[in-house]
Amino acid sequence: MSLVTHLPILQVVVPLMSAPLAVLLRHGGLAFAIVTAAAWAAFACAIALWLQVSDGSVISYAIGNWPPPWGIEYRVDRLTSFVLLLVSGMASIVLPYSRGSIAKEIAPELHYLYYAMFGLCLTGLLGIVMTGDAFNLFVFLEISSLSTYVLIALGRDRRALAASFQYLIMGSIGATFIVIGIGFLYLMTGTLNLADMAVRIGAIENSRPVLAALAFLTVGICLKVALFPLHQWLPNAYTYAPSAVTAFLAATATKVLVYALIRFYFSVFGESMVFERLPLPQIMLWLSLFAMFGANFVAIFQDNLKRLFAYSSVGQIGYITLGLSFDSVHGLTASIVHLFNHGIAKGAIFLLIGGIVVAGYKSGGVSSAPTFDRLAGLSRRMPLTCFGIVIGGLSLIGVPGTAGFVSKWYLILAAMEKGQWWLVAAILLSSLLAVVYVWRFVEAAYFREPSAGQEAREEAPPGLLIPAWVLVVAVVWFGLDTSLTVGTALDAAQQLMSNSR
């Protein structure tokens, strides 16, 4: 058995097996060790796969040795390997962080279940990215969604239950739409293999069921992506989930679904059908603009820091879908780069906010929502945390030297390519809204005097600070050295555009 040829399946199976092992052991510490080891192994697999496909080749793995159109195929190309890097990398950073944060946020007897759920969630997300089979994609989507609902419900605030239930309803509607879409496609093409589907769909692409499938898939996936106006579940879910869960979901869950959207648009339906004959680019464009302005505007008025950045996530998703709507190599590059860059920036911010929340529990506070009146003068007690959040915030704005700048640069490039100067102005204007909400944090943390009687907080423990700062450094690193992100994304975009008819 040569390990290299089996990397695509190990990528998914190692986290999958870690979850039941964690349940069997019934011990928080051991479960932590197993799931973390599995996440790191998955990260190693992702790096190896990324290197394997760096020459533009495509790896195909037949599960059960049944050849592709009949059996389930796992398929790795440039885009796949890039998203795998993000998901498994985030898991291997967030899991060590969890050890410190859930000690305060989740009852000890539930710790092993938390790790099991985390392992399942990671499995589901990796599987969605990896699989080349439409129904398998749906199954992994359900695995990741169901475990996500549980993870959110583990939050200490009682409203976490309501948030989780709200997400469950919305997520189930989304999943139902997706499975209806896949069903239509299966009915019309007689295959579930995505590559095979793409070949057969050419002859029937104007038939009504195929159009219906496209509509169902678009709405279903956009529900899970939290594209404006389907984002209603997201702010509550992010606000009340445990800190580590928020960070992991914000960095990966919506991004993986964007990947699924790209996969269906460019690899199955083909961009000529989606973007040239249907008014989809216009719809995407306007929804993205609403997200960029609407959600960012709402973010400004939030009192809870977690909620503020949750709305900012909805806004940032707008940039990703805006890149899609351009239907050009640069637009697609911008989308792919931004889903990576926004993932690490938001992950860093939510991890650092988690540090603030945990420090609040330490001083005996019952409720520790990071509201702005509690943040006053925070920089004096938690200088590293605050500085990290500011750097992450700069990336959300898109200041040069941070990762966010790179993706916005490509977005603007794509807009100029199309000659849409008003869009360039819109992108810059919406960034100003980000300046406002980041400045609200700076103003509270750095310039306001701490209010009297406020609980004394000290800097977050190193177990929380180090993982968060790894991401903060990554935000700056990928702002300066773009060979990994832009290089891979450009390759992936070209691969996608050339494959599609």
Partner 1 sequence: MMHDLVLRVVAKLLIPFILLFALYVQFHGDFGPGGGFQAGTIFAAGIIFYGLIFGVDHTRSVVPDCVVETMLAAGVLIYAGVGVAGLLLGGNYLDYFVLDHNPVHGQHRGIFWVEIGVFVTVAGVMLKIFYMFASRGRTEE
- Residue with smaller CB distance to partner 1, 20 or 462: 20
Q: Are 336 and 482 in contact (CB under 8 A)?
A: no
- Residue with smaller CB distance to partner 1, 19 or 351: 19
- Residue with smaller CB distance to partner 1, 2 or 498: 2
Q: Which of 26, 208, 277, 501 binds partner 1 (CB under 8 A)?
A: 26
Residue pointed to by tokens 């998901």: 87
- Residue with smaller CB distance to partner 1, 34 or 95: 34
Does position 16 bind partner 1 by CB under 8 A? yes
Does position 107 bind partner 1 by CB under 8 A? no
Q: Which of 37, 41, 44, 63 binds partner 1 (CB under 8 A)?
A: 63
Cβ 36 to partner 1, closest distance in Å? 18
Q: Are 280 and 332 in contact (CB under 8 A)?
A: no
- Residue with smaller CB distance to partner 1, 19 or 356: 19
CA distance 470 to 43: 15
Q: Which of 32, 43, 50, 61 binds partner 1 (CB under 8 A)?
A: 61
Closest to 265 (Cα-Cα) out of 320, 302, 190, 311: 320
Query: Measured between alpha carbons, how far is residue 439 from residues 347, 390, 427, 429, 442 in Å?
Result: 19, 9, 18, 15, 5
User: How many residues touch partner 1 (CB under 8 A)?
Assistant: 18
Cβ 117 to partner 1, closest distance in Å? 13
Q: Which of 44, 48, 59, 62 binds partner 1 (CB under 8 A)?
A: 62
Q: Which of 4, 7, 23, 483 binds partner 1 (CB under 8 A)?
A: 23
Closest to 115 (Cα-Cα) out of 17, 34, 13: 34
What contacts 243, CB < 8 A, 6 or more positions away? 101, 105, 350, 351, 353, 354, 355, 357, 358
Q: Which of 55, 64, 279, 483 binds partner 1 (CB under 8 A)?
A: 64
- Residue with smaller CB distance to partner 1, 26 or 501: 26
What is the maximal distance between C-alpha atoms in the chain?
72
**DSSP code string of 209-273:** HHHHHHHHHHHHHHHHHT-TTS-THHHHHHHHS-HHHHHHIIIIIHHHHHHHHHIIIIIII-HII
- Determine the interface stretch with partner 1 among 17-25, 350-358, 375-383, 420-428 (rule: CB under 8 A): 17-25
CA distance 468 to 470: 5
Does position 20 bind partner 1 by CB under 8 A? yes
Instruction: Detail the DSSP E strand segments found in 26-174.
Output: 59-62, 73-76
- Residue with smaller CB distance to partner 1, 7 or 465: 7
- Residue with smaller CB distance to partner 1, 113 or 134: 113
CA distance 25 to 39: 18
Query: Cα-Cα-Cα-Cα dihedral of 498, 212, 295, 311, to 10°?
Result: -90
Taking residues 276 to 295 in sequence order and writing x for each that binds partner 1 by CB under 8 A, - otherwise, the string is --------------------
Cβ 270 to partner 1, closest distance in Å? 30
Query: Measured between alpha carbons, how far is residue 343 from residues 153, 236, 265, 363, 462 in Å?
Result: 22, 19, 22, 31, 22
Cβ 123 to partner 1, closest distance in Å? 10
Does position 17 bind partner 1 by CB under 8 A? yes
- Determine the interface stretch with partner 1 among 13-21, 91-99, 287-295, 492-500 (rule: CB under 8 A): 13-21
What contacts 234, CB < 8 A, 6 or more positions away? 226, 254, 310, 313, 314
CA distance 38 to 19: 9
Cβ 63 to partner 1, closest distance in Å? 5
CA distance 163 to 153: 8
Does position 24 bind partner 1 by CB under 8 A? yes
Cβ 435 to partner 1, closest distance in Å? 48
- Determine the interface stretch with partner 1 among 19-27, 453-461, 466-474, 492-500 (rule: CB under 8 A): 19-27
- Residue with smaller CB distance to partner 1, 3 or 366: 3
- Determine the interface stretch with partner 1 among 21-29, 36-44, 132-140, 335-343 (rule: CB under 8 A): 21-29
Closest to 479 (Cα-Cα) out of 394, 353, 418: 394
Token digits of residue 172? 């189930």
Cβ 107 to partner 1, closest distance in Å? 11
Cβ 483 to partner 1, closest distance in Å? 33
Token digits of residue 407? 């993706």
**Interaction site with partner 1 (CB under 8 A):** 1, 6, 9, 13, 16-17, 19-21, 23-24, 26, 61-65, 116
